[in-house]
Structure 1
Amino acid sequence: MVVLEAFSADDTGVGFTELQRRTGLPKATLHRIAGDLVSARLLTRVDGAFHLGSHLFELGMRASVERTLLEVATPFLEDLYERTHETVHLGLREGAEVVYVAKVGGHRQARSPSRVGGRLPLHVTAIGKALLAWADEEDRIAVLTAPLERRTARTITAPGRLREQLDRVREDGVAFEYEEGALGLVCVAAPVLDAADRPVAAISVAGAISRFRPTDHAASVRAAAAGVAATLARRQLLHAEGRA
């Protein structure tokens, strides 16, 4: 696990020396483990560099919760892309971070730090704020009392100001981000809520500040998130009835 988790979403290949630096494992130990992982197709080696293997993708697609979420959400994400022709994301919360599980974008998509399988701090993204606004109070306090990383000059690092934004997100049903995670990028997001108003995931649309107005698409994003939530609820009901 130390070896596999040493890879980031942005890696295009990691050499043995760099992998040893990241893991801190002795050379002989890393050589043996890497060989075993290659044999199991969890790693591949191309031109002397290691990559995460295809079998990891196969295993990931068997994760039932995420697979069901992706199956349900994909048509709504594609509809949002057709409406906006901007980058559409689906993300989950893990601790104080967003984990991106889907990204739909065309040829003109704005430069974004998001990657499928990548992570960003909750407080610097609209999708993260949408997830945090509906999180348990204990989870919100944990984020608000921890150091808030500054990604740009517009990143909100004052806990009180962030708390005010989260309260507005609860009132409006959508969250906004204006160049807080990356310069030139603006975004609108809405949470996918379960029957108890707990955030299952969140959907966002992001675009270049020069052409994209997040407020113009708030209703569409909110509707897409509600559609995913309703479809998930129907599936769960049918599944429960099938077991009864």
Structure 2
Amino acid sequence: MVGRTFQVLGSFTVERPALSLSEIARRADMPLSTVHRMLNELSSWGAVERGEDGLYRVGLRLWELGALAPRGQGLRERALPFLEDLSQITKENVQLAVREGTEVVFIERIAGSGAVSVLTRVGGRFALTATGVGLVLLAHAPAEVQDEVLSGPIERYTRKTVTDPGELRRMLADVRTNGFVISDRQVTLDSLSVAAPIDDGRGQVIAAVSLVVHHAGTKPHALAPLVRTSARAISRALIAPIR
């Protein structure tokens, strides 16, 4: 029953956040009557909501539940003041992300005034190999995770996306040596990101922070100290006692 519930909830996507009963049944590959009964139960609990248009959407109860995830909410709350400072200083996009398996999950994003458009969103997932935060997290991931990512298909987003495993391994080594990474036009041709690792005070990298800026006219190496300073400040905040 739990597995079928996940199938129903998994029918909703960023591209299709509102679905009809028949669409959900088709996407979940389940009988219409079964999905109808499950949706009624999920609606009663608040996991899904049905609008006046008859379409179903993810309910606020799931958002409330998701906010309890310690790697998301706790980290976000400790990091937010430093993310806001970085955004105010640079007027650029600031992102906070963690690794979930072989993907990046973004848990906060602050859009700067006049900043370049980005493809990421809070709660969204992305490949580890293209974004600045992804490369940082991959560089500090266990060897088996790196091997799995680099031995599988590596998605290309632009002509600048690095897809060669050997070159990616060299980039990951540089991340560990330099303490930051510059992902230049790998996701969109008008942007680059500068990212740095956040650790838990015991040397374990648990998250990454980045600036995403316009490619034209930007000197990314000049931004690296700002990003690294923010990352270190967040790392210290994570081990400080809560007052």
Q: Same fold (TM over 0.5)?
A: yes
**d(CA) in 2 for partners of 1:44, 1:109:** 34
Aligned to 2:22: 17
3-state SS in 2 of match to 1:138: helix
Q: Which runs of 5+ in 1 are unaligned?
A: 240-244
Q: How has the CA–CA distance of structure 1 residues 65 and 97 changed in structure 2, closer, same or farther, with 3 Å as cutoff?
A: closer
Query: Does the CA contact (< 8 Å) of 1:9 and 1:117 recur in 2?
Result: no
Q: Is the 8 A contact 1:99 1:119 kept in 2?
A: yes
CA deviations 1:60-90 (Å, max 9, x no partner) are: 1222342211110000110110111111111
Distance 2:217 2:39 in 1: 46
Q: TM-score under structure 1 normalisation?
A: 0.91
Aligned partners of 1:187 and 1:204 also within 8 Å: yes
Runs of 4+, deviation exceeding 3 Å: 9-12
Match of 2:195 in 1: 189
The answer to whether the 8 Å contact 1:179/1:185 transfers is yes
> Residue type matched to 1:180 in 2?
Q
Aligned to 1:4: 9
**1:72 is aligned to 2:78:** yes
| Matched AA of 1:45 | R
Residue in structure 1 matched with residue 45 of structure 2 by the alignment:
40
What amino acid maps onto 1:141 in structure 2?
A: D
Mean CA deviation greater in 10-19 or 68-77: 10-19
SS, match of residue 10 in structure 2: helix
Distance 1:32 1:101 in 2: 33
Unaligned runs of 5+ in 2: 1-5
C-alpha deviation, 1:107, in angstroms? 4.3
Q: Is the 8 A contact 1:151 1:181 kept in 2?
A: yes
TM-score for both structures, normalised by structure 2? 0.91
**Equivalent residue, structure 2, for 1:242:** none
Matches within 5 A, 1:1-244: 1-46=6-51, 47-235=53-241
Compute the RMSD of aligned alpha carbons.
1.7
Number of equivalent positions: 237
Distance 1:8 1:182 in 2: 22
